[in-house]
Structure 1
Amino acid sequence: MGQKLFGTDGVRGRANTWPMTADMALRLGAAAGRYFRRDQHEHRVVIGKDTRLSGYMIEYALTAGFTSTGVNVLLLGPVPTPAIGYLTHSMRADVGVMISASHNPASDNGIKLFGPDGFKLSDEAEAGIEELLNTGVTPAAPENIGRAKRIEDARGRYVEYAKTTFPQRKRLDGLRIVLDCANGAAYRTAPEVLWELGAEVIAIGVDPNGRNINLDCGSTHPETAARKVVETRADIGICLDGDADRVVLIDETGRIADGDQIMGLIAGRWAKDGRLAGNTLVATVMSNLGLERYLEGQGVGLKRTAVGDRYVVETMRADGHNLGGEQSGHIVMTDYATTGDGLIGALQFLACMVETGEKASALARVFQPVPQKLINLRYSANTAPLETDVVQTAIAKAEKDLGRDGRLLIRKSGTEPLIRVMAEAIDPAVLDRVINDVVSAVKTAI
């Protein structure tokens, strides 16, 4: 095979194109099954998915691969990614699988693997599985082939758990909530949780057809829900992405709050209550400079990691922190979940509303963001535009112009063939000039 299979968030690509083919899913299932099946006791894997049409193809191919190595398969159907982390551990599975390309369009799909502790696999485990893919896997004897069955109450198990993360004896009575599920994995789970806690739920993005996941809705297109919030005079809007591991919030005026604002609020409150482990928030290099300055004013530390929730979680686990996330809306709270959980993140914000009696607008803007722009540029995966002289010269000039009053970050996406150019500057005019010059240079190189 030769090519590296795993990216920053599992395996991802265009459906029916390498590596997201039925053949590769079968081989990956067999390799993962063999990797985790190390003795003679009964082994099991839980497999969930979002609502993409290609999920059926990949689900059955993975099932064939796992059962061929003697692993029993428990099929959960459409459930959020964080539910897989929770259920892998609670159901004593050896491995968990989520079939999803998260916030990507319906034409893409992906495979995320979780270990028996409910956390995403380490680099070491992924390397071990890739090695088995390259060397080949010996199938189980006919009498040892695994079984497969559907678990009908998987969604209900996660619903009940999610409700336990909301403060006891508190309810959402009197709150009108617009909930956008992005036509994705949480289209039934999230409305049930909020309704059972007492909210009036106005649900949109809950009519998946296999092709409309993330289409003009969800956390990547919150303007749809923002209009609905204003139209219905709702108290708050909640936007999840296709696999519900991200959340973006909308206050009652229609203003959007990203992950930085949500993390800032939770970090400040947890620090005040003595709940913030190490008195530190873990975030990525993409988080706004305004968040960093706000936390300094609260006496709270900030640790930055590379982009990707796996790097956030790795740092949290290594250093003993319990709160982290990304500007995009991954909110990781290891007191409750092993990965980003959009619904539980929203529940923490709603708990603040209930406990303080404040409106969403008073809680969703804890700091003034430093002006920031992000531009994505598609490129051919077999080229290296960032290494060209024209781009390196533009970067050097931009960093000199920004000085200490801004930041420049240029990187390749770990999930798509995109170059992401992000800049921050206190002076909006400087920001526009700097990012335009760098983007122009990258386009020339591309």
Structure 2
Amino acid sequence: MVRMAKLFGTNGVRGVFGEDLTLDFISKITLSIASFFKKGPILVGYDGRESSVVISKIVTAALSSLGLDSAVCGLVPTPCLQFATKKLGYNGGIMITASHNPPKYNGLKVVAKDGIEISREDELKVEEFYFTKKWTISKKFGLIKKESNAVHTYLSGIKKQVNSSKIKSQNLKIVLDLGNGAQAVTAPILCKEFGCETILINEKIDGTFPGRGSEPTPQNLDKLSSMIIKSKADLGIAFDGDGDRSIFCDETGKILTGDRSALLLSKYILKKQPKSTIVTSVNSTFVIEKIAKDSESQVLRTKVGSVEVSRKMVKENAIIGFEENGGFMYGKHNQVRDGSMTMAILLDLLASSKNSLSKEMGMLPPSFTTKGKIECSKDDFKKIVKILKTEPYKKDLIDGIKLSLDDSSWIMVRLSGTEPIARIYAESYSQSKLDEIFAKYLQKVKTTLDR
């Protein structure tokens, strides 16, 4: 058994600011991160949450007290900080964000010098420093500077991966739902540089996320959908709070799932680069195996979590990585989820195609997915797994429990690493079959919890 982290969840350290994420805790966990890194400089960035600036001051002070130099790049999307950490020669990075969590939350994502979040093993090393309190306060404080090149470096890196002149020639009209989040700093600039006519929604950065909440879901993107139809735009894109995930909307106003978008982008990339490796989590679509087969590529599956996918991509030299939640990773740029890089690939695809986005999507093999969540403790989750283990289907226990019901249908339940809930995922070949499967197993889970 691999020892489980106590402070790190699926994606960094998170908590409710002022409750479990106190200033004292932030100081101590940063001392632990500094002890792990041993030396600077460390790049520090943050999202638009109301507590982020205060936390950044605690973080830089703690780094300084252990003698590590740091530089603050200010309010940026998570992938911007990650790429800048790698390209500008920092020994590590700390991104202050709680991604899609509600406004009262915040957290820290720890980035290694390669621009990718530290591994699960390294998270345990940070925690060991935290619990043993083996910090060595330095006689000489580290310097705290500003880093003003992060955004330019990030956008330049993205543009190198696509055919900018071809995108410019198409004069695409795009609607961006920035979700009051950090991509407001970068995505509109990128679209302008690509020659796109851009319409902005929820463009004002606001840590309370008043527009639609911090997570883009099919249920809260009505405004994006209607604006696309009203303005006759070619496509729309919605980002999450820290800008590492993106959800697409086609020209008819249809919101696309993260899985379907990932299939489209993967198919496009694999046409140009066959015999490649794709890494994805165990809860994403089975159709990726079909698309990979057409280009003699292979698919590797991991536990849920961008860290798991990213680190496996590095190990296997994979060109594509993705999660079902709209997190897409392009290895040639950086092996991390990146909302703006994903947008650029989609624009590149549309610039090279005579088809609309809806027509491109229509050429993918059919599949239907859904997901839900239910309040659940760790003990309750053990009961769910025990009951589902009695089902007469092939089981995958890499992360929670996944039942393969037939060649094209599956159900999966896992305990969230960021909230006290269980997440339920399902996929099938038709909407009616999917509805039937999901209703059956949701009821089974609820019945188990009521016992």
The TM-score normalised by the length of structure 1 is 0.90
Match of 1:385 in 2: 381
Question: Which of 2, 6, 9 is the equivalent residue of 2:8?
Answer: 6
Deviation readout 1:311-366 (Å, 9 max, x if unpaired): 21222222221111112111111101131111111111111111223222222344
Question: Which of 33, 39, 44 is the equivalent residue of 2:41?
Answer: 44
Deviation readout 1:367-426 (Å, 9 max, x if unpaired): 2432333121122x4533342588437855898993444111111112222211122233
Contact 2:164 2:194 in 1 (8 A): no
Deviation readout 1:147-171 (Å, 9 max, x if unpaired): 2223334323323333222215333
Mapping 1:258-297, distance limit 5 Å: 258-273=257-272, 275-276=273-274, 278-297=275-294
Contact 1:180 1:206 in 2 (8 A): yes
Contact 1:178 1:237 in 2 (8 A): yes
Mapping 1:59-138, distance limit 5 Å: 59-138=56-135
Structure 1 stretch 255-264 or stretch 115-124: which is displaced more? Answer: 255-264
**Is residue 240 from structure 1 mapped to residue 239 from structure 2 by the alignment?**
yes
Contact 1:112 1:120 in 2 (8 A): yes
Task: Determine helix, strand or coil for the equivalent of 2:8.
Answer: coil
**Is residue 171 from structure 1 mapped to residue 167 from structure 2 by the alignment?**
yes
**Distance in 2 between residues matched to 1:54 and 1:99, nearest whole Å:** 9
**Is residue 421 from structure 1 mapped to residue 429 from structure 2 by the alignment?**
no
Amino acid corresponding to residue 314 of structure 2 in structure 1 = R
The Cα shift of 1:90 comes to 2.0
Deviation readout 1:158-205 (Å, 9 max, x if unpaired): 233332222153333521110111111111211011112211110112
The Cα shift of 1:206 comes to 1.2
Match of 2:34 in 1: 33
The TM-score normalised by the length of structure 2 is 0.89
**Distance in 1 between residues matched to 2:180 and 2:119, nearest whole Å:** 30
**Is residue 150 from structure 1 mapped to residue 146 from structure 2 by the alignment?**
yes
Contact 1:46 1:75 in 2 (8 A): yes
Question: Which of 347, 366, 370 is the equivalent residue of 2:367?
Answer: 370
Contact 1:216 1:224 in 2 (8 A): no
**Distance in 1 between residues matched to 2:264 and 2:430, nearest whole Å:** 26
**Is residue 22 from structure 1 mapped to residue 37 from structure 2 by the alignment?**
no
Match of 2:254 in 1: 255
**Distance in 1 between residues matched to 2:424 and 2:187, nearest whole Å:** 33
**Distance in 2 between residues matched to 1:115 and 1:402, nearest whole Å:** 39
Rate the CA distance shift 1:152–1:321 in 2: closer, same or farther, 3 A: closer
**Distance in 2 between residues matched to 1:308 and 1:213, nearest whole Å:** 27
| Structure 1 unaligned residues grouped into runs of 5+ | none
Structure 1 stretch 339-348 or stretch 355-364: which is displaced more? Answer: 355-364
Superposed CA RMSD: 2.6
Deviation readout 1:21-58 (Å, 9 max, x if unpaired): 211111111111122126xxxx2111111111121232
Match of 2:189 in 1: 192
Structure 1 stretch 421-430 or stretch 314-323: which is displaced more? Answer: 421-430
Structure 1 stretch 390-399 or stretch 192-201: which is displaced more? Answer: 390-399
Count of matched residue positions in the alignment of Structure 1 and Structure 2: 436
**Distance in 2 between residues matched to 1:398 and 1:119, nearest whole Å:** 34
The Cα shift of 1:253 comes to 0.6
**Distance in 1 between residues matched to 2:408 and 2:354, nearest whole Å:** 37
**Distance in 2 between residues matched to 1:137 and 1:313, nearest whole Å:** 29
Query: Percent same amino acid among aligned pairs?
Result: 28
